[in-house]
Each structure stands twice: as C-alpha cells, then as structure tokens.
Amino acid sequence: MFNTLINKYYYEIMTFELKFLNIKFIRDSYKCRFFVKKSAFSHIEKRMFKMNEIINKSMDLENFDKDKLNSLLQEIMNLEDEFSKNNCNISSWYGNFEKIKFYDKLEKLNRGYAYKNILPKIYDIKYPSFLIWEIYTVINTIEFKKGDTVLDIGGACSLFSFYLESKGVNVITIDKNPVLVEEANRVAKKLNLNYKAINCDAEDFVNSCNDKFNVITSICVFEHIELEKRKRIIRNLHKILKQDGKIALTFDYRNPSRFVNINNPTDVKEQFGCSQQLKIMGNEVFYDNEKNYLVHGFFHKKFFIKYKIRSIRKGNFKPIEFFKVKFKNDYTFGSMFLEIK
C-alpha cells in the first residue's frame, strides 16, 4: 500500500497529521504524497528518498561530511586571514563591516536559543553556522569550474562571493547597497581579483543584461525582495543563464515576518519553481526536516521595544503580536536548485 501511494501521488497544498502513524500527509484536490517524519518509519523514508540526494531542503546543522566541512572551514579561515592582513573587508552575514550597537545585539538574538558555533569564535562573530551551511550546501551541490562566470545576486563583498573567486571563478555580483559595492570593487582592485560588483536592482539587471552565466547564485537575499517581484526575477533568470547553467538559492524558511512568506513546501515551489523555462534539480518536493535554528528578534524574550514598533509600522507583524514572546527557535534556512529545461 505504501509503495503504491509513494510512487503514484504528489503533493501540493494542505497539510494535516495522521498522528497515530506519526506521518505528515500533504494533499490537494488532485494529488497527494506521504512525508515520513525522521522519528518514525525511517525505512519508508529511505525508500522515498536517498538522503544524500536531497538538495532542496531545510537546514540541518548535524548532517555534514566531516572531511568536506573541515576543508571548507580551513579555506574560510585562510581567506579571512589573508583579507585582514591586506586591510580588506569581507562583510558579516548581516551585511555590515563595523559593529553597530543595535544590530550587534539584534544579530546575537537572531542566532537563536542554544546557538552552537562551527568556526572558532574569532571567525564565528562574522560567519555563523547558518552561513557555513549555506556555502557548504551550494558548493557541494553545484560543480563550480575554474573560469566559470557566476552572477551572485545581492552578495557584494560577501564571504560567499569572495570564496568563489578564490576557487578560480569569475564573479559578478549585483547589490543595492552602494557601500558594499564600493568596498567590494576596492578590494578586487587591490588584490587583483576576477571580481566585479555592480550597484543596481536585481530585476533591472536581469531584464537589461546581455551576458549569460554558467551559474547564478543568491545567498539569503530573495526573502528581502517583495513577493511578486521575486517571482518575476525567477521567471526571467533563464534569459541570462547558459544552456547547461545552474541556479543555487538559499533563503529564510518559516521566517515569521509577513513580508517573507516562505513557510512551507508549497510556498517554496510556487515562488522558486514558477518559471516555465526552468526545472527543479534533484528532489522536486522541498524536504522540510522540521528543525528550527534561529529566532526572529521580534519574538525573542530579550526583544527591543523600538524594534517591535518599527516592525509593526512596516507591516511585518500585527499590532496584536507586540507582547508575544517565543521561548523556542521559530525559523530556519532552506536551499533550492534550478536548471534550464
């Protein structure tokens, strides 16, 4: 019976739990598919997916290949040391160079309850475990070759974009932050890097660019783009992608801000699988392991009143949520990979 269901059906919209079997069942009016929780029926789960083939997924900080991770960490530390020695900046995961009192405190809250660092603390200050997972996931899914031209959306002066360049990749990054773009180009010139940062809007660039790229990447940027606009960008990315090109995206998943709106596998597919010219690589159904690693600063027990007021005014949260506090982590990151059909 399970084999028949697993092979025949697919998922789309509504979710409810068959608690007596500890199975999550996702269905719409036409199709359905079984998702098996990690805590039960692991043999069925393995028959549905080979876990090492799941690339479109939510973050798991306990599922690294130790040797690959250690190699990456050493490369990151070497890169940071080299840049520091040459008085060159790499931005933090918050997109900052200098510590700003408010954002420094907010960043610490955002890391969630019971945060565990992967890098030594001197490096972890700028590059937390979540960013390491994103870089690790992308570079171990996409084969970047020396001489490839990569477009990185929203990553000027970032660890990820400079890391790619250090591996022999030609990097063009677009970013709306002029400070990051200016510093990125200063660093590239000083260190003679194959790296160029452009200050522009992502949608404008995609619609006007005449070049084609081997790979397009974006590390936790699309959740900061308005929903309909992010869909339009995804629909047009094929225009600037080579025939055998790939797209690698990471994003906030289950972030409680109403602006983000990426809360379940259906949202992921509708927003990132919306192009008729692109197809999803690997597992078409986004795998949600139900783990949360971050907590939104709005709901942290050590919240800032001014930040709550500002977030409500922006429409990210409802006024009725002002006094709400969460004592558990409430969201995570996710990854998605696409290619030309």
Residues sharing a CB contact under 8 Å with residue 174, sequence separation 6 or more, in sequence order: 151, 152, 153, 154, 156, 197, 198, 199, 200, 202, 205
Which pLDDT score, from 0 to 100, does residue 41 have?
30
Residues sharing a CB contact under 8 Å with residue 330, sequence separation 6 or more, in sequence order: 254, 256, 292, 294, 295, 296, 299
Packing angle between helix 159-166 and helix 129-139, nearest 10 degrees?
40
Residues sharing a CB contact under 8 Å with residue 274, sequence separation 6 or more, in sequence order: 231, 234, 235
Specify burial of residue 98 (Cβ count, 10 A radius: 0-12, 13-18, 19+): exposed
* Residue 282, token pair as written in the block: 């690997």
Identify the CA nearest to 85 among candidates 191, 181, 206.
191
Which pLDDT score, from 0 to 100, does residue 50 have?
55
Residue carrying the six token digits 């973050």: 59
Identify the CA nearest to 87 among candidates 191, 243, 180.
191
3-class DSSP state for residue 129?
helix
Strands 23-27 and 32-36: antiparallel
Write out residues in the chain with pLDDT < 70, as ranges.
Answer: 1-52, 99-103
Render pLDDT for 54-100 as a digit per residue (tens, 0 to 9). Answer: 999 999 999 999 999 999 999 999 999 999 999 999 999 998 887 55
Which pLDDT score, from 0 to 100, does residue 304 have?
87
Residues sharing a CB contact under 8 Å with residue 309, sequence separation 6 or more, in sequence order: none
